[in-house]
Amino acid sequence: LYLNRRFGWINLLTYDSGVNKTITFAYNSFSGSDIGTRQFYFKTEDTRGYGANTSIQNFYLDKDDVRIDHLYGNGSVYNRSALPKLNFKVRIFDTDRNQSLGANRQGIFYLTKDGTNYIATNYYYTDTSGNLTLNDITVDCSFEVGPQKWKAGTKDDNWYKDVNSSEFMFTVITVNLSTNLL
């Protein structure tokens, strides 16, 4: 079996002999750079040196599917008078390989400040457990008081499809203003 990866053709070096025999090939060393249309062909040769090749065939290597699981931040309350930082966390799980993503996979958070319109954060990166954490955005007067929404997902990662979590909620409160006249 010859396989065309992003850097050219490779021979998977499987040798076997027999008549009407089924040979199974397994290859799992693809990377995110290999995503897209790839090619393969088979080459056969008998003991006398006669051989034949199949025609080149195409296959498509797709990004892995993911699931986003909430860890914390849904239903949280922030008093913007105290200038707290948002604290949201999700775990991203590779459903094709049945494991968490691991470290340095690219994701993003979306949140509202007016209760309706989402804004995107900068990119964040997963930790070794596949957790994506947002904890550096200050809840200030740019956030309206009341219920707000957030979600998280993979975004522009070489290996994983762009997928968003369910929608989660947080609430912004404030201390009532008071005045003193002297």
Tens-place pLDDT, residues 55-93: 999 999 999 999 999 999 999 999 999 999 999 999 999
Task: Kindly indicate the confidence band of residue 29, based on its pLDDT and cuts at 50, 70 and 90.
Answer: confident
Task: Calculate the CA dihedral of residues 72, 77, 80, 83 and round it to 10 degrees.
Answer: -40
CB 101 within 8 A of CB 123: no
The radius of gyration of the chain's CA atoms, rounded to the nearest angstrom, is 26
pTM of the shown model: 0.79
Which of 66, 78, 53 shows the shortest CA–CA distance to 2? 53
Q: Tell me the average pLDDT of the chain.
A: 91
Q: Is 13 left (phi over 0), alpha (psi -120 to 50) or beta?
A: left
